[in-house]
Amino acid sequence: MDKVKAIKYQIIKVNVTEEGGTFNINVNTDKMYKKITGILASFPFYVSFLLKSTLSLSINDKEIFPDDFEIKLITFGPGVPTNELFYLLDEEANGSTIKGKFKDGTDALGFPYPYMLNIYLRLEDKS
């Protein structure tokens, strides 16, 4: 069996197809990793962080981000070093169920649809 890398970045892709829509998330983490140690949301360059988009998220039915949590709080801006990008977590991975809802917050500002929201989970093989 191959040795597991110390860190893996698992990407949750959310295809945002319509302005103001709500999009469900329901995925499982990689079973080969023990911990979720960070999360980061990444939008395409043309989506402003000021659009009031929200994310609710739970891991194994434990609330991590409540309804109406502004996703801009777990995004990054220019000049942030790579090792400081992630919002820190300490949750079980090992096939955990990630559930949530992303609500697009645009107000007819002319942004092209669809666009892809990427949510990155940092998984680590540590106790």
In whole angstroms, give the CA distance from residue 102 to residue 68: 9
Element at 60 (helix H, strand E)? none
pLDDT exceeds 80 at position 82 = no
In whole angstroms, give the CA distance from residue 117 to residue 5: 25
Q: What is the mean pLDDT of the chain?
A: 88
Portion of the chain with pLDDT greater than 70, in percent: 83
When pLDDT is cut at 50, 70 and 90, the band that residue 43 belongs to is confident
In whole angstroms, give the CA distance from residue 87 to residue 74: 6
Phi first, then psi: give them for residue 60, nearest 5 degrees: 50, 45
Nearest by Cα to 112 from 23, 46, 49: 46
The strands making up 115-124's β-sheet, listed across from edge to edge, are 7-16, 115-124, 35-42, 87-92
Q: Which CATH architecture has domain 7-124?
A: Sandwich (2.60)
